Amino acid sequence: MKATLIFDSINDLLFSKWDDMFIKRMKCFNEQVNEDLNDSHNISQLLSPIITSQRVMAAQFGNTYSSMQCKDKTTIVFDEWLDHVFIIISEDKVEDAHRELLDCKTFVQHICGQNINLLHSPIYKDWLSVLLESRGKGDSIPGASGVIGESGVTVTALNALKSAVKEIKCSPYQHYHLMLYVGDKLLALYSSKGSEDLTPPDLILLSIQCVAAQEYWKNVEEKNDDVQKTRLPWLSQENSAIVNVCAGTAASPCAPYSMHLAEVAPRITFVILLDMELREVGIAVHMSNQILSNLRRLLLQRNLEMVPNTLDTLEVSLKKTTDALRKNKANTNLCARLTSRMLELRKSCTTTTPLTPETTATAMHTALEAAIEQLKPDIPSIKILLPLKEIRGIIAPYMEFLQVKAMRYFSHGSGSEDSGSLTLHKYVEEFPGLIHFIYVDRTTGRFLAPDMADCVDMLSPDTVKRLVSCTFSLVHEGYGAATWRRGALHVCAVTWWERRGAGAAAARAPHPAAVRALPPPGDILGAFYRQVVELAFPNESQDVSMKELICVHVGLVPAPTAVQQARRLAHSIHELLDDQRAAADLL
């Protein structure tokens, strides 16, 4: 059973995605059993007391709660953003449901930016729905993106992207990124000179976009083998849309880019990401919107002591917003309107005026909505057929190999054609009893793992995902290392920090209670790991990376031996990744 729901500021259901089991469960609470519960209005009425309770406790008392657990094992998880309440109702563990809810909120920011009202459109509802469905269909583990690192094919793919640049006309925009994804694993990335680097969450979001497109194209081709080019129904006619990538100190999706998708071959996707030159505006508007939302909550709580400082912060942020708008040659009347609304808001909060602070705050919100409209520019048209043909021709010798890679979980390939790839056979003699391992760099959002084909008889992909979920729970409890048994398997999980480019500084171990108060680990934005590093290395977290290693042994291996092997394996992987000559797969 699962339902994902988004309620607006007046408790109307803005977005909903549920299964039949959820409807059956909701019928237990409905007096009129024969009534059709698939109507959003009926669901809103049944859940209205819970939503109202959550809002009242959060807004008027500041006593927020993030989840509820029922006796029938139903879990309800809450989150709030810009006066909208996000809810997931399921039978999953609280941490897993909370992680999925955080990803849902990230998806909304990714496709809608600050204008969450775009979800009123059926197209955006379908888009969010397919992203939620595709979230767990890839091969990557939560919070880490896939990368294929064989030297031969990656160099060829990069050359193909460089060659395709000559055929792409995107004037007047000069900054862009070209990518090739195999399944959800990044094969190659080419960025134009002066472009802002994409963050690990951006690559994860784009990989999920590619998985959604690949699944749709696969389903269409099964019905019609003659289809050459299929339009994705949630994108434009050219399979393009405006999306938002992460930017600013908050690292939230707020910088508008134009995304263009095209199918190179089954499960191989070409992505163009075009910078719309609105990054500074997006960051400033995002901060202003967040601060204004906090101010409106303070006014609702009558917490007048915090209002002056919040007003000062909002004024500084609005100054950055108007400066960024002027720099982008936006409407000067809009800048004057924002400045005027700020003066009215400050005056109503500090002196006696006919206008109440709530009224002027609402007027400011309306003015900011006009600024948010500037972050939804027209999608530039890009002729993609010629560069697509160029890419297909250059990577043709590797096409069969890449399609195999796209279909295999944790795929690294094996055999004479891929002798440089990482396989478990390289470690069997040195680490007796080891059947699988996962090495994750949480700072860069990449992970390394051997081919699952080597241990398919002993370990299924679903089992691996459950082990990763268990590791998340242990890390969230504040443990740096743990061992446990699961049936015939013995699992060892270790987490540590690394620092390069400077002398090693002793970490200040975070208090377990402080770690438990953080968001659950493994979400797309990686907020947990970023905040843990900041707690352990206050004011010195720039050069610190956080690593994880999960080792799976057969149950006959003693626990001390498994721990010792995990330590040795960590050193071996570190040497492998540092050796530039080693052609290892970075997933």
Q: Are residues 441 and 545 in the same domain?
A: yes
* pLDDT tens, residue by residue, 44-101: 888 888 888 888 877 766 667 788 888 888 899 988 888 889 999 998 888 999 999 9
407 in a structural domain: no
How many C-beta atoms surround the C-beta of residue 486 within 10 A? 13
* pLDDT tens, residue by residue, 532-546: 888 888 877 777 888
How far lies 388's CA from each of 168, 219, 266, in Å? 10, 22, 14
What's the CA gap between 254 and 282, in Å, rounded?
5
Do 86 and 112 meet the contact criterion of CB atoms below 8 Å apart? no
Q: Are residues 256 and 382 in the same domain?
A: yes
Q: Are residues 85 and 52 in the same domain?
A: yes
Burial class (CB in 10 A: 0-12, 13-18, 19+), 23: middle
Position 293 pLDDT exceeds 70: yes
Q: Which tokens belong to 172?
A: 């007047």
Domain that holds residue 269: 146-278+378-396
What's the CA gap between 167 and 383, in Å, rounded?
8
Q: How many domains does the structure of the chain reveal?
A: 4
For 363, which DSSP code?
Answer: H
Q: Are residues 119 and 150 in the same domain?
A: no
Q: Are residues 242 and 197 in the same domain?
A: yes
Per DSSP, helices labelled H in 60-180 are 94-112, 122-134, 151-165
What's the CA gap between 4 and 380, in Å, rounded?
33
Torsion on CA atoms 56, 62, 66, 68, rounded to nearest 10: -50
pLDDT grade, residue 562 (50/70/90)? Answer: confident
* pLDDT tens, residue by residue, 212-242: 999 898 888 766 654 455 788 999 888 999 9
Q: Are residues 172 and 310 in the same domain?
A: no
401 in a structural domain: no
Q: What is the CATH number of the domain that holds 93?
A: 3.30.450.60
Q: Are residues 392 and 255 in the same domain?
A: yes
What's the CA gap between 129 and 4, in Å, rounded?
9
Kindly report the pTM of this predicted structure.
0.88
Q: Are residues 112 and 192 in the same domain?
A: no
Q: Are residues 564 and 544 in the same domain?
A: yes
Q: Are residues 326 and 308 in the same domain?
A: yes
Position 373 pLDDT exceeds 80: yes
402 in a structural domain: no
120 in a structural domain: yes
What's the CA gap between 308 and 312, in Å, rounded?
6
140 in a structural domain: no
Of 119, 117, 520, 123, nearest to 289 by C-alpha is 117
Q: Are residues 274 and 286 in the same domain?
A: no
* pLDDT tens, residue by residue, 570-581: 777 766 655 333
% the chain with pLDDT above 70: 85
- Residue 53 has what pLDDT? 84
* pLDDT tens, residue by residue, 404-456: 776 654 333 333 333 334 455 555 567 777 888 888 888 888 887 776 666 66
Average pLDDT over residues 110-122: 91
Burial class (CB in 10 A: 0-12, 13-18, 19+), 129: middle
* pLDDT tens, residue by residue, 123-178: 999 999 999 999 888 767 788 876 665 667 888 888 999 888 888 887 788 889 99
* pLDDT tens, residue by residue, 21-49: 888 887 776 665 455 566 677 888 888 88
Q: What is the CATH number of the domain that holds 181?
A: 3.30.450.30
How far lies 244's CA from each of 27, 188, 274, 328, 553, in Å? 38, 21, 11, 18, 42
Q: Are residues 183 and 293 in the same domain?
A: no
